[in-house]
Amino acid sequence: MRVTIKSLVFLAVALAGLPAMAEVIGAGHYDSTDPTTEGFTFSDAGGDSSIGVIAGPPAAWKVKDPSGYANYLQYVSADNYNLGMTEGFILRAEVRTPGLDEAGSVDALDDGACFYYHGDGGQRWSMQWGFDGTNPTVGIGYAAEGGTYTVTAGSATTTHLYELKYDPTTETADLYVDGVARLTGWDGEDYNYAPFAGRVTWGANGAPGAAYYAKLEVVIDPAPIPEPSTMALLATGLVGLLAYAWRKRK
């Protein structure tokens, strides 16, 4: 195979532009899998929750609680949390917040379904879902302190993709619904409660609440621009390859 200087330069530029690999922090939830088999612990404060498989499509796990708290939780390390704060992270959820459950009765979804990410230093990042009688709603922060968005696309039977993306350069998070930015510039919630540091919580957080969860992840989302050390290593390798190609031509 003939190696040319032009091809080596093209390869180096292409590699430099590749995005860094995203990494899921801790356990994630997927499809209709029982979350306790995925690394989550279940807590049912009221003792009257309804949980189980939703066949779909898409397949999901139902959490419904009429009177208390029915949550799945897991703790991540301080190192992982701090890495997310440095590199950037995404709370990603595929969720259906139905107006009618599978039995046909009305779910009173008063922002009771939730996805919380508790920081090691007192910050909390979260999404909460509800239903306004016609459409699903999503809020960021406790009591939607960061704003609320009404999802008019689809219907109460539609599963939507929700992403809360934290940008370490601005130290704020933006909410995306189905890939479109809907709420921007939220600086998180002050929640300095040491026992919750590093905790990921999702389910029905306050009565009443219900949702069908098809996917839940906390993902470290580094910027696509390589760090200076990576660029230096790439440059060193490129120089070596260029020298090799030059000798081969002579």
| pLDDT tens digits along 59-78 | 999 998 877 789 999 998 87
Is a pLDDT exceeding 50 seen at residue 240? yes
Q: In this predicted structure, what is the pLDDT of residue 15?
A: 43
Mean pLDDT of 13-36: 73
Does residue 232 register a pLDDT over 90? no
Does residue 12 register a pLDDT over 80?
no
Q: Cβ(24)–Cβ(40) under 8 Å?
A: no
Respond yes or no on whether the N-terminal peptide bond of residue 226 is cis (omega within 30° of 0).
no
User: Which of 5-19, 23-37, 118-132, 198-212 has the lowest average pLDDT?
Assistant: 5-19
Q: How confident is the model at residue 18, as a pLDDT?
A: 45
Better-predicted residue by pLDDT, 249 or 49: 49
* CA pair distance 110, 153, nearest whole angstrom: 20
pLDDT value for 235: 52
Task: Using DSSP bridges, classify how beta strands 148-150 and 113-118 pair: parallel, antiparallel or unpaired.
Answer: unpaired
pLDDT exceeds cutoff 70 at 105:
no
Residue with tokens 């430099």: 16
Instruction: State how far the Cα of 210 lies from the Cα of 66, in Å rounded to an integer.
Output: 8
Give the bridge partners for 150, in sequence order. 137
Give the pair of three-digit tokens for residue 40: 């989550």
Task: Say if residues 141 and 126 touch (Cβ distance below 8 Å).
Answer: yes
Contacts of 53 (CB under 8 A, 6+ apart): 32, 59, 61, 62
116: pLDDT strictly greater than 60:
yes
Q: pTM for the complete prediction?
A: 0.79
Q: Which residue did the predictor score with more confidence, 241 or 126?
A: 126
Residues above pLDDT 90, as percent of the chain: 38
- pLDDT band for position 21 (50/70/90)? low
Under DSSP, is residue 138 helix (H, G, I), strand (E, B) or coil?
A: strand
b/e string for 224-245 if b means 16 or more Cβ within 10 A? eebeeeeeeeeeeebeebeeeb
pLDDT at 9 over 50: no
- How far is Cα 141 from Cα 187, in angstroms, rounded to an integer? 10
- Burial group, residue 71, by CB count within 10 angstroms (0-12, 13-18, 19+): buried
Residue 77 has which token pair? 């390390």
* Contact between 223 and 86 (Cβ < 8 Å): no
